Amino acid sequence: ANTQCWRFIVVRDDNTKSELADTLSAINPSIEGATNPATDAVRNAPVVIVACAELGKSGYRKDTGEPATDKGDYWYMFDVALAMQNLTLAAHSLGLGTVHVGLFDTKRVTSILDVPDGFCVVEMTPLGYLDQEPGPKPRKELSETIFYDKYGLN
């Protein structure tokens, strides 16, 4: 339907980036006892890209306004994620570092950035040159993530 429901806020102001960093979860839920490394990245990056979605557009029929899928209003998450993935891949191709950040206080971020009603903050990514090149991330075996013909069949 080409609704292009995404909107990007490019945050350059240091005070605003610091406010955004303060909205992040203090812990890293992936590693027990670890702090959230994205906090410093958001605070110190040259820019932070905040992705928002216009609600009620993506996943709805243009002619009737009714949901086009059984996923309801959450289809915007799919559209925004695709746009952000393209942004992060393009950044990586230019030698820039990014990280998808989603563990933040959405209401506070909405207030800090004056996001209007009818729009939702989905995620943010700090963007800049890395201090050091990260090593490879562990990946699951393909047999854990790819199935043939039916779920669970290898």
Contact 126, 40 (CB under 8 A): no
Residue 69 has pLDDT above 90, yes or no: no
Report pLDDT for 18: 97
Question: Which domains does the chain carry?
Answer: 6-145 (3.40.109.10)
Contacts of 87 (CB under 8 A, 6+ apart): 8, 49, 98, 125
Strands (E), the chain: 6-11, 47-54, 119-127
The most confident of the ranges 5-14, 29-38, 126-135 is: 5-14
Q: How many alpha carbons fall within 13 Å on the CB side of residue 71?
A: 12
Nearest to 8 by CA among 41, 54, 43: 54
Contact 101, 123 (CB under 8 A): yes
* Mean pLDDT, residues 100-108: 95
Q: Mapping DSSP to helix (H, G, I), strand (E, B) and coil, where does residue 24 land?
A: strand
Report pLDDT for 1: 67
pTM of the model: 0.88
Report pLDDT for 51: 98
The whole-angstrom separation of Cα 83 and Cα 73 is 17
Nearest to 8 by CA among 136, 143, 140, 98: 98
Length of the chain (residues): 154
Residue 27 has pLDDT above 90, yes or no: no
Residue 74 DSSP one-character state? G
The whole-angstrom separation of Cα 112 and Cα 125 is 16
pLDDT category of residue 73 using cuts at 50, 70 and 90: confident
Residue 139 has pLDDT above 80, yes or no: yes
